[in-house]
Amino acid sequence: MKNILITGGAGFIGTNFAHYLSRHSPQYKLTIIDSCNYAGDEQNLSDIQDKITFIKGDIANIELMDGLVAKNDAIVHFAAESHNDNSLNNPWPFVQSNILGTYSILEGVRKHNKRLHHISTDEVFGDLSLDDPARFTENTPYNPSSPYSSTKASSDLLVRAWIRSFGVKATISNCSNNYGPYQHIEKFIPRQITNIISGIKPKLYGSGEQVRDWIHVDDHNAAVALILEKGKLGETYLIGADGEKNNKEVVETILKLMGKKTTDYEHVKDRPGHDMRYAIDSTKLRTELGWQPKYTTFEDGLAQTIEWYQQNQDWWKPQKDQVEAKYSAQGQ
């Protein structure tokens, strides 16, 4: 494998993945395709622009993807509409990018017999209750709740069907909640960090008891690179770093690390259909491929992330008023 096509490489995780590969695997030639929606920006790749080829385009464009897939050895597919709240307001872009976009890539991969790694989410499994000792495994049945997670589940099922019916050389990974640099400020952790910098109180949806299983984006990407190189074709791997925390604890930790009173937040309207808890059992990835997270404490990863948003205010400030106006119109 030499030429790698990264879809969605101008968004949060894809940007970090392109940086990760250019640091750790300089032998690869990287091509990135991204439509640059509100969450993606070619500028995120400016410091590695001499190491990549960037194409602005839509993954649902079958002809465009056919040509790009043909020219590459492997495709790592991150591109998606990714925010649950947006999917509740307008599901159609999620159907287009997440379902039709994945279909278009699968057809290219099938025709040209290329290697595909499909990036997915733990949300395809639905949610767990707070007192349930269970965690998600590769065998947990799909039960998605939101328009976002149901389109991701659909994309996974398409990949599974193309593996079984057409023998495409694909792997799938389902990861838990990521945090780190370049995450759009609509998302929970960067929203609260940039709220505090802007003198706005952090906002907790509903009771704040909901649990997410946090992983640093570099740990996610290290697992993706490993699966791409050593994963068994046809298999699914769950990625998670044992990072379960409830939302209230996360806000309190951010406030503490930023030198504020840990009670200085407010509760706002809950998300409709809000999933209660996600939790990943990543035993398969750890035992079969030897992956381990580098960030062993959430506070270390969070401190690095807070510092990045403090030092890169030009990156997020132009969008802050608009993002907050949208949330405030929803009572959030």
Beta bridge partners of residue 169, listed in sequence order: 115
Place of tokens 């799938």: 172
**How many chain residues are in contact with ligand NAD, going by CB under 6 A?**
30
Q: Minimal CA–CA distance to 135: which of 276, 249, 282?
A: 282
Q: Which is nearer to ligand NAD, 12 or 136 (CB)?
A: 12
321 is catalytic: no
Measured CA to CA, the distance from residue 255 to residue 150 in angstroms comes to 33
DSSP 63-102: HHHHHHHHH-SEEEE--S---HHHHHH--HHHIIIIIIHH
- The yes or no reply on residue 147 touching ligand NAD (CB under 6 A) is no
Tokens standing for 315?
């990156």
Residue 148 annotated to the active site:
yes
The residue from 123, 156, 213, 275 that is catalytic is 123
Report the sign of the C-alpha dihedral through residues 238, 239, 243, 249, in that order: negative
Instruction: Tell me how far, at minimum, the Cβ of 103 lies from ligand NAD, in Å.
Output: 12
Q: Map residues 197-236 to x or -, x wherever contact with ligand NAD holds by CB under 6 A.
A: ----------------------------------------
The interface partner of residue 12, options being ligand NAD, ligand DAU, none and the CB cut-off 5 to 8 Å by kind, is: ligand NAD
Q: Residues 65, 68, 119, 159: which binds ligand NAD (CB under 6 A)?
A: 119
CA max distance for the chain? 58
Angle at 223 between CA 218 and CA 226, to 5 degrees: 125
Residue 8 interacts, among ligand DAU, ligand NAD, none and using kind-specific CB cut-offs from 5 to 8 Å, with ligand NAD
Q: Which is nearer to ligand DAU, 45 or 204 (CB)?
A: 204
DSSP structural state of residue 170? E
**Strand, helix or coil at 218?**
helix
Which one, of 217, 193, 329, 216, lies nearest residue 268 by Cα? 329
**Other CB atoms within 10 A of residue 4 CB:** 25
Element (H, E) at 53: strand 52-56
Q: C-beta of 249: minimal distance to ligand NAD in Å? A: 17
Site string for ligand NAD, 165-184 (x = CB under 6 A): ----------x-xx-----x
Out of 122, 218, 252, 324, which one is annotated catalytic? 122
Interstrand relation of 244-246 and 211-213 (parallel, antiparallel or unpaired): antiparallel
Closest distance of CB 264 from ligand NAD, Å: 25
Interface residues for ligand NAD in 54-73 (CB under 6 A)?
58-60
Q: Binding pattern to ligand NAD, positions 2-31, x when CB under 6 A?
A: ------x-xxxxx-----------------
Q: Which partner from the list ligand DAU, ligand NAD, none does 191 bind, CB cut-off 5 to 8 Å by kind?
A: ligand DAU
CB 231 within 8 A of CB 289: yes
235 flagged as catalytic: no
Q: Which pair of tokens denotes residue 207?
A: 């009771």
Binding of ligand NAD by 150 (CB under 6 A): no
Nearest distance from C-beta of residue 147 to ligand NAD, angstroms: 13
In the set 20, 28, 148, 295, the catalytic residue is: 148
Residues classed as catalytic? 122-123, 148
Interface residues toward ligand NAD, by CB under 6 A = 8, 10-14, 33-37, 39-40, 58-60, 78-82, 97, 101, 119, 121, 152, 175, 177-178, 184
